[in-house]
Amino acid sequence: MKLYIIRHGETLWNKEKRLQGRTDIELSDEGKRIASLSSEGMRNIPFSHIFSSPLKRALLTAEIIRADRPVDIVKDNRLLEVCFGKYEGQVISKTDDSNIANFFKAPELYHPEGGGESYKDIYARCTSFVDEVLIPLSKKEPHAEVLISGHGAINKGIIAVLMNKPVKEYWSGIFMDNCAVNIFEFSDKNVSHLEECKYFY
């Protein structure tokens, strides 16, 4: 089974460097444009299954990538972006709060505030999605081509679970910019990371 994990297109909050989290922000015109270009670049991939975060920016990206393929988009709350609690809407570079800086720079030291989500919670729901959706699907349909449309932080969580990364290494590798795609292959219970942050536009 081949798995494509894409981050949604650009939003105005992305452009302003604001933490979005669960805030349901629409794609910007530029976000729609690069999603459309990505769709054209991925037009020959025969996706048989598409999963998406229910948030508008990821869902619309999934719809644009799907184009005219006769495939349902399955919304799964486990693919929602990480909840940042009181930090949502903030521009990290403009705050002197070391805790939210730790979320990215020293995740093992981060602690959620204001209803935010812990790394333990993030790993739990990513593990649930991998164990209950991806692994069974890879066994049932070994030749399936699967798309996940998600977000910058939660996509890293799925990748961390797939690659057995500890919290300290959560952000290792290349950061996924808008419409970046990580490609994996499941084969005989093994997971191979084929391409990191490929752009189809």
- From the first residue on, what is the mean pLDDT of each consecutive set of 10 residues in the chain (201 residues)? 98 96 98 98 98 98 98 98 96 87 95 95 98 95 97 98 97 96 88 97 93
Q: Kindly report the CA angle at 62 between 146 and 179, in degrees rounded to 5?
A: 90
Beta bridge partners of 51: 74, 148
Which residue, chain included where needed, has tokens 């729609």?
A: 32
Res 29: pLDDT: 98
Domain ranges of the chain: 2-198
Helices in the chain by DSSP H: which ranges? 12-15, 29-41, 56-66, 98-105, 119-129, 135-140, 152-162
Side-chain half-sphere of 104: how many Cα atoms within 13 Å?
12
Judged by DSSP in three states, 83 sits in coil
DSSP 173: S
CATH number corresponding to 2-198: 3.40.50.1240
Res 93: pLDDT: 82
State phi, psi for 5 to the nearest 5 degrees: -110, 115
For residue 147, give the nearest of 71, 200, 40 by alpha carbon. Answer: 71
Res 171: pLDDT: 97
Res 96: pLDDT: 80
